[in-house]
Amino acid sequence: MTAEKLYETLKFLDALDSQLGLQNSLESIRETLSNLVSAPAQPQQQSALAGALSKFTTAAAKLVGSITPSQDALIEAMGGKEFFDPSIGEKIKGSISTNAMTPSVARDFVQDLHSRRATFLATVRNTRQGLEQIGISEAKLAPGSANVAFLIPRELFKNHLEEFAKELKFINRLISDFSEAMTGHAESAELQGLSSSDPTVALAASVFVIEKIAIIVNKFLEAWEKIRKIRTIRGELTEMGMKGKAVEELTEQITTTVNEVVEESTEIVLVNYKENVANRKNELGNALRQDMRRLFGQIERGLTVEFRAEPKGADEDQANKEASETLVNLSRKIQFPVIANEPMLLGLGEILEGTLESVKVSKKTTTRKTTTKKETPKEAKWEL
């Protein structure tokens, strides 16, 4: 995490808590419970508790649409997950309901939560102010622009510089291939930020290029969840001793699902491509398929991608505006999977250089062959 990213997250948490009034509502619940313990027979105390609890629960429920998956991961890393959990209201309600006859227990539960949450928020504000004093602030995007950040876990390159260089080379090729498909010519991505603790590469590129990458990543993650469920069912059938056609069909469905999302994604990226060199569209299509398989294989090993966009305003071009809105919406929706112990897609060390000897497309239809670069060809394999 960069210092700028830390500052941005701290500022976000402080603003979100103030906007929803969470700590103030929690304080009301705490005080009302204390009064209720002192005077349990007072109807107004029961009414006040119901009102304070309803207000807090309603505010906490809004956390669902307010925190992106990437922000959620950072909040958890900082130890604040519990305090910004959308279910926090239901937990308090459950404690009060369970201890209806002993309100002092519920009071102590809320008092402890209130105290720890207040301490966390104080740390958030003090840290933010400290960062401001040494000149650190959030990285801002220019209106009408967008960027994409690749968070590369060290497990992917095992702290070897050569392997890390391959990761950077792939990211550059990904942007280049997508930009050529979108604009007709390959563009270089501009490096906006680089963090070395948990290697993070932030790049600026066309909002349309970044939008398409976000759409493709989202499609893969939806397919990945489907694949996970299929593998679970297949595993259960295998444990029961079932073999034969049923298990084979599930295996085929996994392959088909992956290949379908790769082919559909390729068509989406190339839909407006205007070929200016003979056969270049086919070559570019094959390159995009390689890129997507490589990207998908790395995502399930822990690679995450963050997308940001800053709308320009009323005078913004309609197409640019729509692309920015898509990016903003997807950035809040995309949820990356927990790292699998056994990767479901590409085997370790495969398709690192971006060259395929063969790519077998399921549905029992076609087989594509290409050698687009002088690097040693590697055959794509699928761990099913």
pLDDT at position 358 over 60: no
pLDDT at position 367 over 60: no
Q: Which residues of 342-356 are buried (b: 16+ CB within 10 A; e: fewer)?
A: eebbbeeebbbbbbb
pLDDT at position 219 over 50: yes
How high is the pLDDT of residue 344? 57
Handedness of CA 125, 129, 131, 136 (dihedral sign): positive
* pLDDT averaged over every residue in the chain: 82
Helix (H, G, I), strand (E, B) or coil at 250: helix
How high is the pLDDT of residue 348? 42
pLDDT at position 168 over 60: yes
Percent pLDDT > 90 in the chain is 35
How high is the pLDDT of residue 45? 76
Range 139-145 average pLDDT? 82
pLDDT at position 8 over 80: yes
Kindly indicate the confidence band of residue 269, based on its pLDDT and cuts at 50, 70 and 90: very high
End-to-end Cα distance, the chain: 34
pLDDT digits (tens, 9 = 90+) for 93-126: 888 888 877 878 988 999 999 999 999 999 999 9
Kindly indicate the confidence band of residue 371, based on its pLDDT and cuts at 50, 70 and 90: very low
Highest-confidence range of 27-41, 73-87, 184-198, 239-253, by mean pLDDT? 73-87
**What is the C-alpha to C-alpha distance for residues 144 and 44, in angstroms, rounded to an integer?**
53
How high is the pLDDT of residue 301? 85
- In what helix (H) or strand (E) does residue 271 lie, and over which residues does it extend? none
How high is the pLDDT of residue 22? 93
pLDDT at position 339 over 80: no
Q: Among 272, 300, 305, 269, which Cα is nearest to 287's? A: 269
Q: Which residues of 27-41 are buried (b: 16+ CB within 10 A; e: fewer)?
A: bbbbbbbebbbeeee
pLDDT at position 170 over 90: yes
pTM of the model: 0.71
How high is the pLDDT of residue 82? 93
pLDDT at position 361 over 80: no
How high is the pLDDT of residue 372? 42
pLDDT at position 210 over 80: yes
Any idea where the domains of the chain sit in the sequence?
3-133, 145-368
Range 351-380 average pLDDT? 40
pLDDT digits (tens, 9 = 90+) for 44-92: 777 888 888 999 999 999 998 788 767 887 898 899 999 999 999 999 9
**What is the C-alpha to C-alpha distance for residues 261 and 245, in angstroms, rounded to an integer?**
24
Kindly indicate the confidence band of residue 342, based on its pLDDT and cuts at 50, 70 and 90: low
Between 37 and 374, where is the model more confident? 37
Residue 213: DSSP 8-state: H
**What is the C-alpha to C-alpha distance for residues 8 and 3, in angstroms, rounded to an integer?**
9
Kindly indicate the confidence band of residue 195, based on its pLDDT and cuts at 50, 70 and 90: confident
